[in-house]
Amino acid sequence: MISDGFGQASEGLARAYMQHQTAIEQLAWTSLLDDMLVGTTRTRSANTWVTDSAAGATAFSCARKSLNGAIGVSAEGMPCATVLEAAKLAGYATGLVTTARITHATPAAFAAHARDRDMEDLIATQMLRLMPGGANAANHSVDVMLGGGRCHFLPRGTAESCRGDSEDVWRQAEARGVHTLTTRKQLDALVSSDQPVLGLFGQSHLAYAIDGDTSQPPLSEMADRALNLLSNRTSRGFFLMIEGARIDMAAHDNDPATHLHEILEYWRTVQVVKDFVQRTENTLLISTSDHETGGLTLGRDPEYLWHPHVLRPVVRSAERICQELMQTDRDAVAHNVRHVVMPRYLGIGNATDGEVASIVQAEGAKKCRRAVGEVVSARARLGWTTGGHTGAD
């Protein structure tokens, strides 16, 4: 299991929030990850002190440091055999589960090889072993893949496509025996399958947990179904990588409440996997992070405090809020920020003119998301040093 972009301060954030929420003695509450803690990892890549997710995942999948942006290749640019590929060759079932696009850096590094993580069209074909002259996908692809990113499997020109070519990878996969899913209802109905399973429940990344999109399965549900599918597939055993991908993306936006809820969903997923491991012999659970994102600090100069209660009433991600604002008539944005975004989405009933203006005047989606996150962070007394990654252990 990989909690992308989840640093030690993020664990402290979620733990303190839960301690604040519980009726029991606050200091006695610990998370599942607290109870499992063994140590830390040094996260740097082969060419920089601050890794990206591609090099981080390649270190996990190939057991060697690589270059930022590299997917399943060595620092010298050569493909490196991954633990998932080794498991497949040894007769184990294999799976990938993520809340990101299935072709995104972390899952890709276990089942594809590319010098640039942005080569997602190529990665999609590699993950299904659909390269020209490739063997039947039912024999050689990953057995179960669940997540988002359907757009890289559809031909250019179709409504949901983001491919740069006319290849219909989705139809090619179906023609070669892959069982495809696009809805949560289809996933719920799937008990077992002798075919490879490709379930992509969104055009791009899946929705944030805080936004409550019930049409898409949460990480815990996808993990539970993958475990059942893989364990019923072969008596040999299985390898499964599960990624809480959007922990990282919320931190890139410096969006604390969204970051928090992605962590809580990751914890729920760890519990699902831990329960499975406890009732299944010879099964190992490892949970780790690839790097820290955002440079989160619990406390903000000059006070020695932070306020977990500020995060409780937040019910929308900065991403979803800004998507709505971008679709709002410009003359109505200020009114919506003051009378909808602040009280309904962020739980702020006494917004200042400065807080409203910071969001209204933000140019573009990225700056809007950061502005929304800053309003909540400032009130909670949380700090962020970057919108990127850090080199922390």
Q: Quick one: what percent of the chain has pLDDT higher than 70?
A: 96
| C-alpha torsion 327→329→333→335, nearest 10 | -130
- Quote the pLDDT of residue 129: 80
- Quote the pLDDT of residue 27: 75
Q: What is the DSSP letter of 343?
A: I
- Quote the pLDDT of residue 66: 98
For the whole model, what pTM was predicted? 0.96
| 297-298/382-383 β-pairing | antiparallel
- Quote the pLDDT of residue 134: 47
pLDDT digits (tens, 9 = 90+) for 333-358: 999 999 999 999 999 999 999 999 99
Contacts of 126-131 spanning 24+ positions with Cβ under 8 A: 127/96, 127/102, 127/103, 128/169, 128/172, 128/173, 128/176, 128/178, 128/196, 128/198, 130/169, 130/172, 130/173, 130/176
- Active site residue ranges: 53
- Quote the pLDDT of residue 28: 79
Determine the Cα–Cα distance for residues 54 and 248; give it in Å rounded to an integer: 13
SS3 content of the chain, % helix, strand, coil (to 5): 45, 10, 45
pLDDT digits (tens, 9 = 90+) for 5-29: 999 999 999 999 999 887 656 677 8
Q: Which residues does the chain have with pLDDT short of 70?
A: 23-26, 130-140
